[in-house]
Amino acid sequence: MDASSARKQFNNSDQLFRQGRYAEALTLLLQLNQVFQNNKDILYAMALCMKELGRNEDAKRICHDLIRRFGHPKAKTLLAHIETAGPM
């Protein structure tokens, strides 16, 4: 997958997310993550989808990884939100 195709797929996942189609968005992001591993934008978007799907432990794991490796401020905010929300 070239950079242009990847950008289109990432944008498609964003549109799906905005439409509330979290599982479909996550599927595209997982495909991107196979090719572009450890990309902080892809990982963060995956965490957002997982949170919306109630997969809080998976989302938290990704957030912890983003914080550890990149000091990712949005991941810190998302993690705090997940942890204060408690179990669903």
CA distance to 30, 42, 80, per residue, from 33 (Å): 5, 7, 24
pTM for this prediction: 0.94
Model confidence pLDDT, tens digit, residues 27-57: 999 999 999 999 999 999 999 999 999 999 9
**3-state secondary structure at position 15:** helix
Model confidence pLDDT, tens digit, residues 62-88: 999 999 999 999 999 999 999 998 654
- Measured in Å, how far apart are the chain's first and last C-alpha atoms? 37
CATH of domain 3-85: 1.25.40.10
Per-domain residue ranges of the chain? 3-85
